Structure 1
């Protein structure tokens, strides 16, 4: 997936999530997606290459960085809780969408319960593959 495709997948996924707002508070070179005022996705370019920065569970972030050379610690963010996705071979659309969902869920989970636009216990959980109806 090239950089333009990577950012397009993130934009489409983020814009479809409940209570999401798109802003450019750091200038036109940064796109920021927020839920209830809290950042969960940033899009920019590093050394002229489009990248995406997402929140991640610290343990999951380590595993992702070990599995994918395109995933590195979060640029200009807490390196333990954020990851940067760069264009590259192994990243697939479904993985990127799942990472956006997880970033959103992690941020929503920290909101006061009455402000949460989704139930974080069930949000983003994919139905098991296989037969329907037993």
Structure 2
């Protein structure tokens, strides 16, 4: 039985591999530029995006990442002051220099005022256009 356990352990160690960085490796001068979107009002889906963003920051180090999270459609809920639990997570990510953008078109459609958004939220005319333009510049668009 001990032999099987040893073989299993050795096999498990072989399956683990370190990530190989693409060049140039992420650094303060060459940060990974990553953009996420939040388009759902579902708390579980919002938290999944925020957790994914946090995982990326932990892996690379916040100093090696330039990150934006764009909220549009029902996902604008993530940037409202009234959503206390999610607001705490958003503010924590803001402390790590993650930029949060609200879609101006969504705000007009849903009659949301700037004062209803979390402090330091930026507003763009159209969330989808913001994502499109960053991808065109070479940003990595992650959809968890």
TM-score, normalized by the shorter chain, greater than 0.5? no
Answer 1 or 2: which has greater helix percent: 2
If the length of structure 2 is used for normalisation, what is the TM-score?
0.29
Q: Which has the higher contact order (CA 8 A, sep 6+)?
A: 2
Between structure 1 and structure 2, the one with the greater Rg is 2
